[in-house]
Amino acid sequence: MTASDDALRERLFDAVSKVVNLLVAGDYRQLVRLAGADRYSAEDIGGLENVIRQYGRTLVKLPDDAVRYMSVIKVTLPGPPRYSVNMSLWTAEEGRSDLEVRLTLIERDGEIVIELDDLLVP
């Protein structure tokens, strides 16, 4: 892996961390504003909240070494560089859990644009 690959991975991880921190805080409205304003309705916000509540464990921020668990696949489409990213979530009770957040991250004008694709529960 090159230094530029490492820098990109860190930028992608920073974007993932923003999403996870909003999930941990239970700030689903801000999460939708950040990562899905055009894709999610008020009902979808409630759905995200219900998924977490029904899981029955307390989400916590990602540990410092969590970047090694992040799966990144470059999506080959016309337009700006785009990545499909899967990231495990952590809970106070389990550590690394079965929960997973799936995102599409797009490099646009020097920024990473975040699209929330799914929150998977086993």
Can you give the pLDDT at residue 42?
A: 65
Distance CA 112, CA 9 (A): 11
CATH of domain 3-120: 3.10.450
- Domain ranges across the chain: 3-120
> What global pTM score does this model have?
0.90
Collapsing DSSP to helix, strand or coil, 46 comes out as helix
Task: Provide block-wise average pLDDT over 10 residues at a time, the chain (122 residues).
Answer: 80 97 92 80 77 92 96 94 97 95 94 92 75
Q: Residue 63: what residue type?
A: P
